[in-house]
Every structure is written in structure tokens, then in C-alpha cells.
A and B are shown apart, each in its own frame.
Chain A
């Protein structure tokens, strides 16, 4: 099991928009490694005949009919927004392009 480097933790934090300073990175990187090692012990138990599982229940094809159901009113939708304007969610200036 390869170790998660401090740089990788910094990169992940950046992708997740979590602002970590140097002291926090020093503190958290080793802790994350301990967690990864603990989880990795599962691969010692599962044999080659056990494929990685994303869904524990063997269900497929759970579909919904294409029928409109009432949702929220604009008022309800915006009620939890820190700021709203012109019936829209107001968000801070966007830096850079959409992805």
C-alpha cells in the first residue's frame, strides 16, 4: 500500500476547496495514511474471486415513469439560499470557466 504524500493531500484539499495551511497538512497527511491502511486490511480478507462492489444489494433497472410530479415553488426553493435576486440564487463572482 503506497503512502499518500503530503503533496497529494494538498492537491486533494485544493480540488475539494478545503483551505489547509502547512501545519494542518503536516498533521492530517499521516492521519489519512493511517485510515487508508486500516481500510486496506479489507483486501487481505477478500479473495480474488470477490470483485470490488459498488452496490451491496444486487438490484438493477430501478426506473421511474416519465411523469411530472410537483416539486418546490420558487419561493420554497430559494428559502434556504443565503441570497436571492430576480427569483434566482445569488452566488459570488465566479472565477474561471465552467468545466
Chain B
């Protein structure tokens, strides 16, 4: 079916968008939500299963207390009320990746409700950003499903597959689903607000330490609801729900595409179908999934095998005391302390280096030096290795130690890069690497002086220029000396010697 897409600028001239976001966060507990199976990612198929998470007859679930704790901490960080008493419920539907034929979830009694999160959309011209308050309807506890792979057909997708294979390692891993109220009044910022919200949730989850928060591995998954209404009408249109949008950029693109698609349908006098949609990373489009209508009949009822959860107010307050500083507030504070420009700060955050820089500074390095190493040398190496900065085998303490050696003129920046080579290769501490690789700058004045004399002798023309006061020419001599010393000299000292000898 061909679709008419209305250009984004025209959409926002004539329509008001309403957003809604549902985010699933996979918790990083040791065990699953209702059984003691490991909840780690990447095991051999069906090796992290037991009668409970396989839904075998007679198996009895027991709630993971740590998961409840994480749920409460997430709720508190989102400024939610925490239920005094709430129950789990069965959400009944059939799908092979859900072995019990129901998902244990929460229905009308979520553990956390009525909260908010303020998110700031950066100004494209570098000015003050615009802040939107996102109202949180609820955050509730539930469990993840298994993973199906589809065999046969052309491309491993459901359609045209001959049969499917299911691995239940993921079935039963604790999930927290965070649901917003309709987000209104964002206008042309809707795609950016959606992205900023998911980003803020991710930052919060990272700060809380309750999840790996890896969107690429599905430990944070976003469903994006969108509807349009004629501008100023104040009504809510029919929404589509784009499932499993798995990167920040995709969230923005999915909203943008759905706005253009909805407008096309409404302009043609049609009505938007209430349905789920699939997002396609390759071209930024969505395609029709399942129509919602009566399939939505989940026949929820209270889970009889699990007793209610009634967190005491003392426990809630204890957990409130463990909350980290709000990431946005922290960012503003650190920028002030470090004296970074907006651009330096944005690059640092964008590179995922904020905590690393903070820890490096805490270990004694100057903020600009810490930023320089993480954002240039180490970012490049992480990129080459295809890993996140945080996964690189270099710690903030080591970076601070390397910088301290640069500050002490034991090594220079160029040699520091070789020290990082050694650290990544696991060759020991920076000092051990310097010793083993013979990297220290030569502080032997005699050797240095000899090298300068040699460079002057070999470059009489340049030496004459410097004698005539053309100090800019010194660079060539310094370069020659550094080459002679195989980079292991303090360029500042070499410059002093050159100028001394030629004055």
C-alpha cells in the first residue's frame, strides 16, 4: 500500500501531536523475577530455565525482593507515589515465547504511579534549551518473554517462516514498564521530546544502576504511541503504537515518520487505524503490525500464586535515601565545576564519557586533560574495537596516573599513547609499561644536548635563521631532535636548549 507522507513542516502547521511512551527496562538482578534462574544475557539456549519459568505444571513462583527494590527506586526517581499495597495480575494471551500462556504483570495496581520527569530539548542554535515536564502514569513490574527465531522463509522473519525455535533463557527476567500520560503541546519538538525523554530515562536507569541500559541489546526498549489532532482542536486522535524502537535516533525518526503518515491519512479524509507498527531501521519507516481492537482482551485477573506486595513506608524512605543525584542536575553542576563549554559538555555526554571523566578528575587529573584522553585517544580505540568507552580495558584511575606522569614530564603525550597501548594489552601499571617498553623521556641532559648539537650541525640553514631571530624556524630543529630521540624527549626542554645554543 502506498502512503502519502506530508512534509514535517506542514504537519506541525496544521496538526497537534500527542505522544505517549512505554519503556521496558530489563533489570540487572542476578536472578529472574519469580525463580532463581540466572538473569544474565547470552547463555547457551535453554540453560537458564527451571520449571517455574518454563511454566511447567505445579511450579510456584516467588517474587525476587531485589527486583521489587529496583522497581521502587525507579518509581521514586520518577517522582512517583509508591503503592502501599499492590498485586500481580495475569495477562492472558497465547504466544510461544511465553510458556505459561499468561504474562505475570500488574494491572490496575502498579507499584509506582503519578510521577513526572523533566526533560530538556537542546536548542539547535546553542542557546538555552526548552524543558518539558513528562507526566508518568505508572511504573509496574512484569517479566520478559523468551526469544523466538523463525526458520524457513526468506529473511528469518515471521512471515513466510516454516516453524520457529524458542529459547526461554530470557523468559522471566524482571522488567519494569514505565508508561507516560499523553504528552501534549510539544508541536514541532515532538520527535526531539520523545528522544530526550528516552535518553533521560536511560540516564536515570544508569545512575540508579538497576539495568545494563543497553538499548542495542534490548535491555531498554521503547514503544512509541503517536496521534494527531487538528491544530487547536484540543481532542485526541487515534493513535498508532510503534513497538520496540531500539535506539535514541530511531525514537526520533519513528515519531517524525508517524506524524507524516498520520497527516497523510487525515488529509485524505481517512481515519488512522489503531494498530501496532514495526519500525525499520534501514529507511526510518514503519509498517503495519497487528490491529488492536478485540485482540486487546487480556482477561486480567489477580495472580493467585503470589501474595500482595506492601512496601512499608520505612523501606520506601530507606530506598529514597539511596537515590543518586538527578543526572540532568548533576550535569549542570559538573559543567560549572569543570569549566567546560556547552559544546565540550555535550561532546562528553554524547561520548558516554561523563562518569569516566568525573572519576578521572576524582583520581587527580585536570578536567580538560581527562576530557582530552577519553574523547580523543580512548574514544578512537573504543571505536576501533567496536566497544563502548566504559568497556575499554583502561580505568579512570589509570588515565589519571598516565596524566600525572605527563604532568611530571616523565612522558609526553606521544609516549602516553604507547602507555595506553600497553594498558590495553594488559602489560601492567603505567610505570611498569614505561619501564618495560623503555618509554620515559630522556632526562639525561648530556644525551639531549648532544642530539641538539647534531641537529644544528645537520641543519645549518635553519640554525642561521634562528640566529637571525626567526624563532618560528625552531620547530624544524625540535622535530629533528625528537626524531633522533625516538620521541622520548620533553619537547619543551628541547626548545629551550635549541634557543640557548643559538642565541
Give A contacts to B, CB under 8 Å: 11, 15, 17, 54-55, 57, 59-69, 71-74, 77-78, 80, 85-94, 96-99
Interface string of B122-161 (1 = CB under 8 A from A): 0000000000000000000000010011110000001001
Q: Is the CB of A89 within 8 A of B302?
A: no
Q: Is the CB of B290 within 8 A of A88?
A: no
- When distances are taken between beta carbons in the complex, the residues of chain A under 8 Å from B364 are none
Q: Is the CB of B29 within 8 A of A61?
A: no
- When distances are taken between beta carbons in the complex, the residues of chain B under 8 Å from A91 are 96, 148, 163-166
Q: Is the CB of B302 within 8 A of A54?
A: yes
Chain B nearest Cβ from A10, distance in angstroms:
12
Q: Is the CB of A61 within 8 A of B93?
A: no
Interface string of B18-61 (1 = CB under 8 A from A): 00000000000111000111100000111111110110100000
Q: How far is the CA of A65 from the CA of B68 in the complex (A)?
A: 11
Q: Is the CB of A63 within 8 A of B47?
A: no
- When distances are taken between beta carbons in the complex, the residues of chain A under 8 Å from B338 are none
Chain B nearest Cβ from A46, distance in angstroms:
17
Which residue, A17, A72, A73, A92, has most C-beta atoms of chain B within 10 A? A72
CB of B314 closer than 8 Å to a CB of A? no
Nearest to B302 among chain A residues (CB) is A54
Q: How far is the CA of A73 from the CA of B46 in the complex (A)?
A: 8
CB-contact partner of A61 in B46, B92, B310, under 8 A = B310
User: Which residues of B326-352 are within 8 A (CB) of A?
Assistant: none
Nearest to B305 among chain A residues (CB) is A55
Q: Is the CB of B44 within 8 A of A68?
A: no
Q: Is the CB of A77 within 8 A of B307?
A: no
- When distances are taken between beta carbons in the complex, the residues of chain B under 8 Å from A93 are 161-164
Known A-B contacts A72-B49, A98-B95; the reply to A64 vs B165 at CB < 8 A is no
CB of B62 closer than 8 Å to a CB of A? yes
Q: Is the CB of B45 within 8 A of A74?
A: yes
- At the interface with chain A, which of B183-191, B291-299, B434-442, B445-453? B291-299
- When distances are taken between beta carbons in the complex, the residues of chain B under 8 Å from A62 are 62-63, 306-307
Q: Is the CB of B299 within 8 A of A77?
A: no
CB of B247 closer than 8 Å to a CB of A? no
Interface string of B288-320 (1 = CB under 8 A from A): 011000110101011010111111000000000
- When distances are taken between beta carbons in the complex, the residues of chain A under 8 Å from B299 are 15
CB-contact partner of A63 in B63, B93, B297, under 8 A = B63
- When distances are taken between beta carbons in the complex, the residues of chain B under 8 Å from A55 are 87, 302, 304, 307-308
Q: Is the CB of A77 within 8 A of B49?
A: yes
Which residue, A55, A61, A85, A99, has most C-beta atoms of chain B within 10 A? A99
Q: Is the CB of A89 within 8 A of B31?
A: no
Interface string of B160-196 (1 = CB under 8 A from A): 0111111110000000000000000000000000000
Chain B nearest Cβ from A53, distance in angstroms:
9
CB-contact partner of B163 in A15, A73, A87, A90, under 8 A = A90
Q: Is the CB of B165 within 8 A of A69?
A: no
Q: How far is the CA of A54 from the CA of B162 in the complex (A)?
A: 42
Nearest to B162 among chain A residues (CB) is A93
CB of B245 closer than 8 Å to a CB of A? no
Chain A nearest Cβ from B356, distance in angstroms:
28
Q: How far is the CA of A35 from the CA of B167 in the complex (A)?
A: 40
Q: Is the CB of B297 within 8 A of A15?
A: yes
Nearest to B48 among chain A residues (CB) is A71
- When distances are taken between beta carbons in the complex, the residues of chain B under 8 Å from A80 are 56
Q: Is the CB of B66 within 8 A of A66?
A: yes
Q: How far is the CA of A98 from the CA of B94 in the complex (A)?
A: 9
- When distances are taken between beta carbons in the complex, the residues of chain B under 8 Å from A65 are 65-66
CB-contact partner of A11 in B68, B85, B163, B294, under 8 A = B294
Known A-B contacts A60-B85, A66-B31, A94-B164; the reply to A78 vs B46 at CB < 8 A is yes
Q: How far is the CA of A92 from the CA of B162 in the complex (A)?
A: 7
CB of B228 closer than 8 Å to a CB of A? no
- When distances are taken between beta carbons in the complex, the residues of chain A under 8 Å from B290 are 96-97, 99
Nearest to B303 among chain A residues (CB) is A54
- When distances are taken between beta carbons in the complex, the residues of chain B under 8 Å from A67 are 30-31, 36
CB-contact partner of B92 in A15, A73, A90, under 8 A = A15
Q: A65-B66, A73-B47, A98-B95 are in contact. List 18 more A-B contacts (CB 8 A).
A: A54-B87, A61-B307, A61-B310, A62-B307, A63-B64, A66-B66, A71-B51, A74-B44, A74-B49, A87-B45, A89-B165, A91-B148, A92-B164, A94-B148, A94-B158, A94-B164, A96-B158, A97-B289
